[in-house]
Structure 1
Amino acid sequence: MAKLPSADHLVERPTRSVRQQVADALREAIVSGALPPGERLRQERLCTLFGVSPGPLREAFRQLESEGLIEHFSNRGSFVLDISEEELNQVLIPVRLVLEREAFKRTAQHLSKEDDSRLERYIADMETGAATGNIGLINEADHRFHEHVVALSGLRHTLQLWRSVSPRLRVQFARLAPRHESLSDIVDEHRAVLEALRSGVPDAIDRALEEHISQSAKDLLNRQSKPGIDGTNGAG
């Protein structure tokens, strides 16, 4: 099993339940690729690693299963799920695009200077990640950028649906990001999205999101043989 956070990680946020902290730690490990598809999640080892009893761990497993990140098989245990290209193209990307188009247009009607600055900070984090080759930092900043805009829309059910597909999309982000000709492309796409958001023009928002979410993913999926930024094969 890949290296995971130690038990010390669980006391950094004492206000959160143990179950939630374990779920968060495992989710980040899956999203980052530290726990790859097909990896078996061994209960005894994880209980020791996190310093928790089986109860909270099983609850965390159930939460991650509901998010589509792991699956439990009777008499075999729990495993990290893979995400097929078909699911990405026919379910995850179309759903995300529909949700974000409406949410971004709603947010554009009342984007404050404070929230604009916050989005700029997320893009700055992406720039730092691109400059250092830190895909994890880019992935986190990308997630926070989009989540913040969707949350600002005030569309509560849209936000709930967005969060339900986000973990699986983040897994694919980590796998596809190395296929970019340059990680700076990700920064440029977000700048284009932010400019469209600032303009408040619905068609401009639609075009920017289509390019960033749909077309970019299709282009990257076609680069099956492109080496990753670390020199390894970029195929997931």
Structure 2
Amino acid sequence: MNRELLLQRLEENPFQSLNHIVYQMLEEAILSFELLPKTKLNSAKIAKDLQISRTPIKEAFRTLCKEGLVERREDKNGYYVFTFSRQMTEELFFARRVIEGTACYLCAQHNRSVDVRQLRYYAEEFREILHTKQYTKLDETDIPFHKIIVQAAGNPFLVTMYETLDKMIRYQSARNAHYLLSTGQVEYKMDGLALQHLSILKAIESGIPEMAQSAAHAHIDTCVEFTRLHPMY
């Protein structure tokens, strides 16, 4: 976190409070893995780096605690970046399996107006990013691919439920990118994810609900298997 970024955000958002902008900067640093799990957050250092008082930083810590992204550790007297537990990982993917599987089913069943060209673009870009090892860009193609399908399902409640998962999905994506960068290798499971995107697309285009739902479930199951390779799992 640096002063230049803070000034840029203030200039771009003149009507937003300093508290909110500091909160957003910390949130982004956590979700992008810039701040790693279990990192102790030093309000004095952050205040010095940003050249502001500690008040908006402490307020941001409290807000992030409510969201579950930061933990207050009384035994260690401080705030720490949260750790994504095994149970949280399993529960996140379970929720995704239900929502995305249903969305794919509905898109195929009702022949919803899905932007097939855009889906194919994201699917192919995802595969290219894997091959060129630009892992930090995976979320730029993977997340939009799934969002398009959920939004096209025609069920506003499904969309609302999926939106509540957005931050954790982005965090999980950054976590996977961090793992891939640290190992320098693409496991076969990860490469299979790229092919499964195309399978989902084909099933929706074919108008076969059961096939579309099954393809989505298989994709999420592969995501879980890959995530289990992560040393932080």
Alpha carbons of 1:196 and 1:132: their partners in 2 closer, same or farther (altered >3 Å)? same
Deviation by residue 1:185-220 (Cα, 9 ceiling, x = unmatched):
332222222222222322112211111112341255
Deviation by residue 1:50-104 (Cα, 9 ceiling, x = unmatched):
5666565455445543443222345833211111223322x11111111112223
Q: Matched residue of 2:35: which SS? A: coil
Q: How does 1:1-236 map to 2 (within 5 A)?
A: 6-8=5-7, 10-11=9-10, 13-14=12-13, 17-18=16-17, 21-50=21-50, 54=54, 56-58=56-58, 60-74=60-74, 76-89=77-90, 91-108=91-108, 109-112=110-113, 115-176=115-176, 178=180, 180-181=186-187, 183-221=190-228, 223=229, 235-236=231-232
Separation (CA, whole Å) in 2 of partners of 1:110 and 1:49: 53
Q: Matched residue of 1:6: which SS? A: helix
Check conservation: 1:22, 1:50, Cα contact below 8 A.
no
Larger relative contact order (Cα-Cα within 8 Å, sequence gap ≥ 6): 2
Deviation by residue 1:93-127 (Cα, 9 ceiling, x = unmatched):
111111112223333435436x2222233234423
Normalised by the length of structure 2, the TM-score is: 0.75
Q: Give, as a single letter, the amino acid of the residue that structure 2 aligns with 1:235.
A: P
Check conservation: 1:5, 1:25, Cα contact below 8 A.
no
Name the residue aligned to 1:231: none
Q: CA deviation at 1:156?
A: 3.0
Separation (CA, whole Å) in 2 of partners of 1:133 and 1:213: 22
| Percentage of matched positions with identical amino acids | 25
Q: Matched residue of 2:204: which SS? A: helix
Alpha carbons of 1:84 and 1:124: their partners in 2 closer, same or farther (altered >3 Å)? same
Q: CA deviation at 1:137?
A: 0.8
Separation (CA, whole Å) in 1 of partners of 2:121 and 2:11: 24
Separation (CA, whole Å) in 1 of partners of 2:156 and 2:59: 25
Separation (CA, whole Å) in 1 of partners of 2:120 and 2:15: 28
Moved more, 138-147 or 171-180: 171-180
Structure 2: runs of 5 or more not aligned? none
Normalised by the length of structure 1, the TM-score is: 0.74
Q: Give, as a single letter, the amino acid of the residue that structure 2 aligns with 1:186.
A: L
RMSD over aligned Cα atoms: 3.3
Structure 1 runs, 4 residues or longer, greater than 6 Å off: 2-5
Give the number of aligned pairs: 222
Whichever of the two has the greater Rg, that structure is: 2
Structure 1: runs of 5 or more not aligned? 224-233
Q: Matched residue of 2:83: which SS? A: coil
